[in-house]
Amino acid sequence: MLRLLIAASILVLPGCALHPLYAGGSSGVVAGSLRQVSVDTIEGRNGWLVFNKLKERLGEAGTAQPAYRLQVQLDDAIIGLGIRGDRAVTRERRTLRARYQLVSASTGQVVLDATAGSDAGIDVVSSEYATVAAEQTAAERLADDVADQIVARLALYATRAGKPR
């Protein structure tokens, strides 16, 4: 019975609509499309973090003129959540949201307009240095998360509509 079930699974698998997103590795359609995206400068310290992480994940542009420009606007906020009786904050929530647009370099048309975001909790302790260090570490993790979300969405776009030229 088990053998019959395994054989049936093997026969049905090729009929499903699932395909690997990064098929072909560095020479695949998605990797080629991602290399054709240039990232515009993003303002602020967190912008610098996200910019560098995006550049790292997208790879080096293989053409003199990239096919797309990625424009990113960040919104970074820290709000106090846990408040003691003496009105001192004991817990913070840091959120990093990005609105990004993928713009065709040849036509100037926005081909993808989306958002990405992430948040992190931070314990506020008596040491200001430790709290600032925790906030900066959270910003780095959030920049990683946001960059991953953006690149995943760009890769999905590349498989559906943005075939490399």
Confirm if 111 and 104 have CB atoms less than 8 A apart. Answer: yes
CATH code, domain with 131: 3.30.160.150
Query: Residue 89 has what pLDDT?
Result: 83
- Confirm whether 149 is domain-assigned: yes
Determine whether 25 is exposed, middle or buried from the number of CB atoms within 10 Å of its CB (0-12, 13-18, 19+): exposed
Element (H, E) at 152: helix 128-160
- Confirm whether 3 is domain-assigned: no
Spell out, as residue ranges, where the chain has pLDDT lower than 70: 1-5, 7-29, 60-64, 161-165
- Confirm whether 91 is domain-assigned: yes
- Confirm whether 26 is domain-assigned: yes
> Measured between alpha carbons, how far is 41 from 116 in angstroms, rounded to an integer?
17
- Confirm whether 10 is domain-assigned: no
- Confirm whether 120 is domain-assigned: yes
- Confirm whether 13 is domain-assigned: no
Query: Residue 27 has what pLDDT?
Result: 52
Query: Residue 48 has what pLDDT?
Result: 96
Query: Residue 32 has what pLDDT?
Result: 74
Backbone angles phi, psi at 12, to 5 degrees: -85, -30
Number of domains comprising the chain:
1
What are the residues facing 72 on neighbouring strands? Answer: 100
Query: Residue 36 has what pLDDT?
Result: 87
Our measurement of the distance from residue 97's CA atom to the centroid of its chain's CA atoms, rounded to an integer in Å, reads: 10
Domain that residue 102 falls in: 22-160
- Confirm whether 165 is domain-assigned: no
